[in-house]
Structures are given as structure tokens and as C-alpha cells.
Chains A and B, each alone.
Chain A
Amino acid sequence: MNLHPLLPPRARTFSRRDLLALFASGAGALTAGPSLLSLLAGDASGQGVPGSKRNARRRLVVLWLEGGPSQLETFDPKPGAQNGGPTRALSTSVPGWTFADHLPGLAKRADQLAVIRSMTTREGSHARARELVQSGYVPNPTVSYPSLGSIVAHELGDLAHELPAFVQINGAPLQAGYLGVQCSPFVIDKPEGRIENLAYAGGVDHKRLDHREAMVDVLDDAFAKRGGTPAVDANRTQRERARRLMDSKLLTAFDLSQEKESTRDAYGRNDFGQGVLMARRLLEHGVQAVQVVLNGWDTHDNNFARSAALCDQLDPAFASLIDDLKKRQLLADTLIVCMGEFGRSPEIARDDGRNHWPNNWCVALAGGGIKGGQAWGATDPNGTTIVEKPVQLADLFATLGTALRVDGSKTFHAGLRPIQLIDPNGKVIQELLA
């Protein structure tokens, strides 16, 4: 990825003072102003206020259920069937449609959800399946395929914004590969507590850091004169952004104490719930994509109790997110995708467990571009086969790409190999789109 697509070929090396001068008028502003790049290119339209319908650049929230959530304990229950286990079904707000009874909040909001019950893939190992489902491409030892979040950051995000375009809360990140390292997720481990390396180091305040940077400038200017210009330019850009992030008033996005206690309670006082709340804040502060990971779904034993406990975290967080975004008029432009790397086996194994099951599993969608109130595809009464409308991963990604208004045919190169942003072999499921 070319960092400076809009810079003229003979860009001189900016010193830090030059850059600061250019930002002087907009420094510290709460809204994201036009980026330096766009100023240089003579394009002042920039990103605009987050959430503005004028721009309608869609945002993305991925609720990633790490370990492979059981579809029978979430969105495709089979009470009474041989494989159903003790899980009961709950009527949703859409007649005839049921969820597992551990998802009451989502059941009430089913009119805003579209659930694919017939997702089918062939990867049964965690690491490979995670890469597969997050990126839409079969993992390949020679290529790093970027995740959907990185795609959104690259295509829709503002890479010059003070906050990173793609943030991940918890979990192992996928690299952005050919989209460039700026689109890799900025990972924070827990929504509460310090973000690594974001704070000024002990004994270093604003003034001292300025003083230090002045020394770096001397060294970088000298290095540029000896042939180091490309490296200096790239490095300076990132250092500037890092500094702006450290000093950014938008860092309040990461500060949950700004929220009412009742709001924090509604999302759930656990890492996942608070992480989803943080996701909402991040979107409001101009972050384009957020992925929040809920771990623990790999229930090879004690599946029922464990799934129930996890749903107790998933349900209020997901439901609150929908409500909250709607209230702030952000839902229409925010796509929410809730899924894991595969489902779980209908056959109940020993120790009350369910094993890995990519054959049929569920994806829940809400928000921007999605037509709610429908279940897409169906499985047989025992939950072992798909009887209606199987959905391949490429179809899912084609559909999500359309919902996000991303041009999936854009081509990048891993080495010499051309790769489209989104696998072209999928078919968009129009009925899922609003």
C-alpha cells in the first residue's frame, strides 16, 4: 500500500514544525478535520463528522465469538430433538422464529436481526478457521489475507485520523497483509486499564517529549540528506500520528468512566460488555471498524452451562449496542456482524460437550444495509444438515461487502499475485440487504 498516494513525486521532507503549523488551526478539535494528505491533494472534503448521513461511509462492528459458538445454544435451537440437549427455545418478536432461551434481549429485537442459519465451511481447526472466516479467504502459507476490519479501515476509514481506523478489543489479531500495516488492528487487551505504551513514559511530560522530538528531527534531517528520505518520510508520518494519538482529546473514546453507570450496567459489567460499549464510543469518535472478542466458546465439555454463561454476556451487550446505536442515529450506517470460526456438533459428545462443526453454523447481522426480521436458510430438525439455502463464506463476504458499500473487485498484490479485496466467487444474497 502506498502511504502517500496523493503526495507529489518530489515531496520535500517536512520537518515536524512544518506539520504542526499545518495542523495549528485544527489541533485538538473534537471532530476529524481534513487530513494532511487531502489538504496537499487539494481535496478538502475529508471525512466529515462521524455518523453524518451526508457521507454515509459505513462502519463495522464485529462481535467475534472465539472458539466456535454452538448454533444449537444460540440462534438455531432444536428443543426436543435427539441432539437438542436441555436448551429451550424462546419465541422472538418475529412470529415463528425462535432463538435459544439464553438470548432474550436479542429475541425481543429479532425484527432488527438477520440470521443466516445455513453458513457452511470446511475448516475445523481453530487457527485456520479463524483466518478463513475473518478474511473470507482460505489460509495460504504465502499470503496474509486481511480481515474484514482491515478492509473497512482501508476502503472507508480515515488513515490520517487521530484515532486508528481499526481497533480490536481482546483476542489475536489478523495482520493486514497487502493492505499495509496501517490497516492492521490497533489491539487493546481489556477495555478497562491502561493501553500499552499510549501514556507518556514516567519522567517525560509534553515539553520534554517535544525536546526529544527536536533531537530526532536533527538526526532525521541529516539521515534524509544522506539518502534516507523514503524511510524518514514514512517514519515521521507514523510518529506524528502516534503523538497526536497520545495527545488527542479523542482518547476519551477509550474512557468508560464518561458513561453513565446505568449504561455500563446495561451492556454488562464484564470485559466483553464493556468492550462493546467502548466500541460504540470508538465509532462515535471516528474509528471506522471495531472488533470485540468474546472468548470461551470452545465447549468440548460442559457445553450447556458454559454456553449459557457466555450468552449471558453476549445478549445484553449485543442488544444494548443495537439500542444505543439506534438512539444515536448511528445504526443505519453501522454494520454489526456476530459470528465465530465454526459451530458445534449436533451429536453430544462425552462430558456434555459439543465438538467442532463447520458443516452448518450461524451468523447474526444487524444495522447498516441489513434487512432485519428474517432467518435465512434452515437446517433439518436434528440440526445435522442444511435443508434450505446453504451459504458459502464467499457469499457471506460478497453480501457484507455490498452492505458496507465496498468495491470488492479492487485488486491488490501479494508479491506478484493479484488478489481481489473480496473473493469474487461469492454471490450477493440480495434478500438480506435493505
Chain B
Amino acid sequence: MSWTWGALSCLSAWIGALALAPQDNSSATSTKERPAPSALAELIDQSLQAQWPEQKVRPADPADDSTWLRRLSLDLCGTIPLREEVAAFLDDSRADKRLRKIDEYLADPAWAQNFSYLWSNALLSGAQKGGGPEGTRLRSWIEGQLAQNRPFDDVVHELISAAGRNDENGATSFVLAYADDIESLSSIASRTFLGVQIQCAQCHDHPTDHWKQDDFNGFTSFFLGVRGQKVGEMPPTFRLVDAPPGELKSSQLRKLRDILREAAKNGDAFAVDLSRRYRRRDLGDLTDEELMSFLATLPGKQREKLEKEIERQKKYADPRFLDGSPLNEQADRTRRELLADWMVAPTNPWFAKETVNRLWGHFFGKGLTHPVDDLTGSGDQVLPPLLELLAQKFAQSGFDLRYLMTAMARTRTYALSNSMEEQAERREAQERWFAAHPLRPFTAEQVLHSLQRATALELDTVARAKDNEFEAERRRVLEKFRYVFDDDEGGSEDRFASSIPQALFLMNGKLTNDETRLKNSRMLDDILDESRSDRERLRQIFLATVGRLPSQREAEKLGRLVKGADGGNRRGIEDLFWALLNSTEFLTNH
């Protein structure tokens, strides 16, 4: 922990000052409970700035307009800006143009889509095959919620506790994506929404954190009652229900009865034999004693399987909140509803903090606490009081995501350039204290959208109609991109380890070659149509790809190379287009 008393007193002063902060003209208005976004932004800036002398880091220069705009577009909308947009922004002389841009992007449908990927990718990361069709439904549902700026606590409450048909309530798709795998489900829920990594405690007490196996079991117990009932074939439709807590508590052999009932339906020999022996048609009616005596007669493998299931039922019999809060089971609330209540309550130690931390990581490159979803671990924590405060304000705002993002995007910190330090350690120190903006490789979604935009493959806005076929195609393409551009967030220190397949794709792939050819490229067509001079052509191609104007030096050197191409100017233009798409800058969020 390395924050100073100076920083603490600075923060305290700001906490006091926040209550008196003046109103500003943003669409996210301030209320008695929450400061105006600009005031919150100022707080962030002051808190970090106060650390820099102590930490011996100097801030990088402020980023220029084109850098800032491109960064904002990628972070908020998941794609590079359109070239017309860049040109207009550079020409815009209004003092508040950046504030307006932030508001504009937050209201754009692309924003909702972009962040639906952020959360659905995280939520589906433990599911088989990325959740399959449930995954698509989930992402789509989240997008809808974000588009209305529904309070985030409500969104998460529904994701955890929703019941009913998945074709009527897409929120059920989160739980359904995990089918019977409640261990993975609970791990992902805990990690994504609370920043608590309990999965390490699944098989043994966590080696470095303070979580115990009992904690894992207690948390997972909330999900024990989930059942996905198939209610339709084409397309496969499920209803998500919960076994009532009373039933769970009293019978650990419920699952055994389910198995037997199924077996009887399938006409399995031993089930038929059993119903004959006990004179019951519905094997669900067998008493516990009858079941136990039956178990004893089963051959080894089957008995083992059933005994394992009983063990599992026992393991997850007693739900417990991670912070030791009392659990009051009520007849009319399912366990998942009780869990959801606890998770998003203002008294929950982690929910608001984790949401803030995750979004901080999204904008600033890494969380205030690192890793972004490990609040209670032994990782690096920069300025914990700031995270606490932001979490408080976020909660008080009614868990308003747009409000939080407005504040973050308005900071001077967000508008810093990249580090110019040559020595790795100095660079790291600068980035650690957010005194310089980090370099980040594109996510797979950003690659897809940006390549499409740069080549004008899709002229309409990034948020397209979401019919099933398009979704399926998009998923297929993204899967391919995800493999080619996988930046293994599993833990590689070197975030820029691009690979040979990636390089080959960019160098020789259809997308960067066919779509940059004059006879195919709508982008080049438009640019050549509009431009009166070589210089103008160059500028437009730069705007379309890297979102900025060329420097004098670049214009000279590249101008010469374009003219000197075999086959003349027109081939040279194709080469330049290709080169911009293959440049490091293009696929870097900087």
C-alpha cells in the first residue's frame, strides 16, 4: 500500500467539497447524493495527481484530439471512429466538444452493444462452447438492458435470480448457459460481479487468499436448486425454475428420485424392476429408506454415480453469504433471489467496487486493484480509498453506468498520452500510477468492427439488426478472430505477443487484400471521388484507418512511396491502404 497522508487529506477535502459541487450542463445531472460527473472526474484527477511527486513519476503530455477521439470511440463503442467524424471533430472549435462527444457516444446503440460484449464475454468464459445459443441470447438481453440504462443493480439482480422461459426472459440465459455445472456458475458469478475468486477454494482452502472450502460450498449452495426444463424443441427452449428451499432442505435424495424417474421413463431395466419391487408407479414417491436400501443393491458403477450425486447434494446443502451476513430463508423467495438481494445491496462489500474496478480497468488499462476481478487477493492495489469512494458514489447514483462512465471519460487522466519512457521500469511506474495511458491490443470485437469500418464493409453504424442469422455469422467470425487474435487474458505478462497466424491474416488475408483493392473498395472509391489532390487522398486514407492526419514527415515519405509503386499511383494507394491496416498503430488502442 503506497498512498500518502497527503493523498488522504486531499481526498477528505474533496469528499467535503463534493457536497458543494456546482451543477454542470451534462445530461447526467447531479443530485443531492451524487456529485456532478465533472466533479467526480476532478476528484479522480486530484487524487492521482497528488501521488505523482511521491512516486517520482511525471505525467505524460495530454493526448491530442485525434488520439483522444479514437481512444474514446474504441473504449465506448468498440470501434474506430468514422473518418468524417474525425474530420468534423478536429475542425470543431467548441470548448466543450469533448464533453459533447462523450455524451453522444454514451447514447449511441453501439455503446450498449460494446458493453454487452464486455459482460457477456466475462460471464460466459466458464461455459462450454461459450454458452452456445444461450450465449447469444444472454448478450442480446444485456444489450437491451444497457440501451435503457437500467440501473446496474437491477440488471445483475435479474441475471442471478431470473426464472421462466429463456425465450421470454433472456436473463435466464446466464444460468442456463451453465446447465448442471453450478460450480463453474458460482465461480463466474462471484468473480464477475463481486471480484471474489472463490474457485480456487473449490477443492482446498485458498492458498493465499482467506477463502475456505466452506465459503465456496456455501456460495455454490445458492444455485443447487436450479433446474432447466426443456419446453420446446425448435428452437430448443428452456424454462428455468428453482426447487423450493423447503424441498431442498428436507430431501437430499431428490436428485436420486429425478434420476430414477427418468430411468423409469426410458424403460431402464433396473428402474422397472424397482417399481415392481416397491409397487410404485412413480419412483419419485419412494421414501428415503426405500431409496437407501435400493442403493445398496446397485452394481458398483451405478451406485458410485448415485452416491456421488448425494455427496454433492450434501456439499451444497447449506447456503451462506460470503461476508457472514445472516440468511433468512422465506417461503416465497427462492435461494437465488435471496442471493441476488444480498449481492446488489448497498451493504454488500464488493458489488459496487467490482463494477467500478472493472470499468476502471476498461478505460485505464488495468484496475485500481489488479487483477480487475480479484478484489480480495494479494494483487497490486493503487489508492484503495479512491476505489472505495467511487464505489460509494456509484451506488448512490443508483448504480448508473452512464454516470460512472461519463465521469471516467471526463478525467484529464483519461486524456493523457502514452509513456515516452525508454526504460521499462520507468514506463511501468508511470503506467501503474496512471500518469501515462497504456498501449493495449484490440479485442477480437474491436478488430472485427474496426477492419469493417476502415474498409467500409459495413456502411451503417456498428449496431446492426440482431436477427439470428447475423448473430450466428458474427459469432462464427468472432470465434475465428478470437483464436487468431487471442490475447490470452489468462495471464501473459507480455500483452503484445501477437502471433504468426495473426500476422499472416493481416498480411495475406482476404479482408486486408481484397477490400483494399481499388476495384473492390468502397472506401477507396469514395476517397478518390472526393479528393482533388494526392495530399488530400493521403489525409483521407489516414483518417479512415488510423483516425488522424499524417505528419509532415509521413506525408513526404509515404507520398514518395505511393508514387514510386510499380504500376503507378493507383497501385501505390492500394499499398498505402494495406500498410495502414497492417501498421502496429492500427490494431493498438493507444
From the candidates A2, A178, A197, A219, name the one contacting B504 in the complex (CB within 8 A): A197
Interface residues of B in 363-408 (CB under 8 A from A): 371, 374, 377-379
From the candidates A213, A226, A230, name the one contacting B496 in the complex (CB within 8 A): A230
Residues of B within 8 A of A (CB): 60, 125-126, 128-129, 184, 187-188, 191, 197, 199-200, 208, 300-301, 371, 374, 377-379, 417-420, 422-424, 427, 436, 439, 441, 483, 486-488, 490-494, 496-505, 507-510, 513, 517, 546, 551, 553-554, 557-558, 561, 564-566, 571, 575-576, 578-580, 582-585, 588, 590
From the candidates B125, B129, B486, B509, name the one contacting A141 in the complex (CB within 8 A): B125
Contact status B580-A228, CB under 8 Å: no
Q: What would be 14 A-B contacts, judged by CB atoms less than 8 Å apart?
A: A142-B490, A175-B488, A182-B500, A186-B501, A187-B501, A212-B582, A216-B579, A218-B561, A219-B546, A219-B554, A227-B418, A228-B590, A385-B300, A415-B490
Q: Does A208 contact B (CB under 8 A)?
A: yes
Chain A residues within an 8 Å CB radius of B505: 197
Sort A-B residue pairs by CB-CB distance and give the 9 closest, nearest first: A141-B126, A227-B418, A215-B579, A234-B496, A242-B503, A414-B491, A144-B490, A201-B513, A219-B583
Q: Contacts A141-B187, A218-B561: A223 and B583 contacting too (C-beta < 8 A)?
A: yes
Q: Contacts A3-B497, A214-B561, A215-B579: A228 and B301 contacting too (C-beta < 8 A)?
A: no
Total cross-chain contacts (CB, 8 A):
217
Q: Contacts A177-B491, A415-B371: A230 and B575 contacting too (C-beta < 8 A)?
A: no
From the candidates A9, A200, A384, name the one contacting B424 in the complex (CB within 8 A): A9
Chain A residues within an 8 Å CB radius of B301: 359, 384
Chain A residues within an 8 Å CB radius of B378: 416
Q: Does A198 contact B (CB under 8 A)?
A: yes
Contact status B580-A127, CB under 8 Å: no
Q: How far is the CB of B169 from chain A (nearest CB, A)?
A: 24
Q: Whole-angstrom distance between the alpha carbons of A399 and B427 in the complex?
A: 43
Q: Does A328 contact B (CB under 8 A)?
A: no
Q: Contacts A181-B499, A215-B576, A219-B554: A231 and B494 contacting too (C-beta < 8 A)?
A: no
Interface residues of A in 280-332 (CB under 8 A from B): none
Contact status B509-A197, CB under 8 Å: yes
Q: Whole-angstrom distance between the alpha carbons of A375 and B561 in the complex?
A: 67
Contact status A227-B494, CB under 8 Å: no
Interface residues of A in 137-153 (CB under 8 A from B): 140-144
Interface residues of A in 410-433 (CB under 8 A from B): 412-417
Q: Contacts A141-B187, A211-B565, A232-B584: A175 and B490 contacting too (C-beta < 8 A)?
A: yes
Nearest A residue to B188 via CB reads: A141
Q: Does A246 contact B (CB under 8 A)?
A: yes
Q: Whole-angstrom distance between the alpha carbons of A207 and B492 in the complex?
A: 36
Chain A residues within an 8 Å CB radius of B564: 211
Contact status A416-B371, CB under 8 Å: yes
Contact status A227-B578, CB under 8 Å: no
Chain A residues within an 8 Å CB radius of B503: 235, 238-239, 241-242
From the candidates B300, B483, B554, name the one contacting A218 in the complex (CB within 8 A): B554
Q: How far is the CB of A199 from chain B (nearest CB, A)?
A: 7
Q: Whole-angstrom distance between the alpha carbons of A236 and B579 in the complex?
A: 13
Residues of A within 8 A of B (CB): 1-3, 9-10, 125, 127-128, 140-144, 164, 173, 175-178, 180-182, 184, 186-187, 196-204, 207-209, 211-216, 218-220, 222-223, 226-236, 238-239, 241-243, 245-246, 359, 384-385, 412-417
Nearest A residue to B425 via CB reads: A9
Contact status B199-A141, CB under 8 Å: yes
From the candidates B488, B504, B566, B578, name the one contacting A198 in the complex (CB within 8 A): B504
Q: Whole-angstrom distance between the alpha carbons of A323 and B236 in the complex?
A: 50
Chain B residues within an 8 Å CB radius of A1: 492-494, 497
Contact status B187-A142, CB under 8 Å: yes
Q: Contacts A142-B199, A201-B513: A178 and B490 contacting too (C-beta < 8 A)?
A: yes
Nearest B residue to A359 via CB reads: B301
Q: Whole-angstrom distance between the alpha carbons of A400 and B469 in the complex?
A: 45
Q: Whole-angstrom distance between the alpha carbons of A9 and B488 in the complex?
A: 25
Q: Whole-angstrom distance between the alpha carbons of A2 and B495 in the complex?
A: 9
Contact status A143-B584, CB under 8 Å: no
Most chain B beta carbons < 10 A, residue from A3, A176, A227: A227
Q: How far is the CB of B495 from chain A (nearest CB, A)?
A: 8
Contact status B498-A234, CB under 8 Å: yes
Q: How far is the CB of A75 from chain B (nearest CB, A)?
A: 21
Q: Whole-angstrom distance between the alpha carbons of A15 and B490 in the complex?
A: 31
Q: How far is the CB of B83 from chain A (nearest CB, A)?
A: 17
Given pairs A219-B583, A238-B497, 11 additional interface contacts (CB within 8 A): A9-B423, A127-B129, A216-B582, A219-B546, A222-B554, A227-B590, A239-B507, A242-B500, A242-B507, A414-B490, A417-B200
Nearest B residue to A184 via CB reads: B499
Most chain B beta carbons < 10 A, residue from A175, A200, A238: A238
Chain A residues within an 8 Å CB radius of B208: 416
Q: Contacts A218-B554, A219-B583, A231-B584: A197 and B199 contacting too (C-beta < 8 A)?
A: no
Chain B residues within an 8 Å CB radius of A3: 494, 496-497
Q: Whole-angstrom distance between the alpha carbons of A204 and B227 in the complex?
A: 57
Q: How far is the CB of A84 from chain B (nearest CB, A)?
A: 18
Q: Whole-angstrom distance between the alpha carbons of A243 and B483 in the complex?
A: 20
Contact status A231-B439, CB under 8 Å: yes
Chain B residues within an 8 Å CB radius of A180: 488, 492, 494, 497
Contact status B557-A218, CB under 8 Å: yes
Q: Whole-angstrom distance between the alpha carbons of A268 and B488 in the complex?
A: 37
Q: How far is the CB of A56 from chain B (nearest CB, A)?
A: 27
Chain B residues within an 8 Å CB radius of A202: 513
From the candidates A143, A231, A238, name the one contacting B588 in the complex (CB within 8 A): A231
Contact status B374-A182, CB under 8 Å: no
Contact status A227-B60, CB under 8 Å: yes
Q: How far is the CB of B338 from chain A (nearest CB, A)?
A: 24
Q: How far is the CB of A317 from chain B (nearest CB, A)?
A: 26
Q: How far is the CB of A286 from chain B (nearest CB, A)?
A: 15
Q: How far is the CB of A129 from chain B (nearest CB, A)?
A: 12
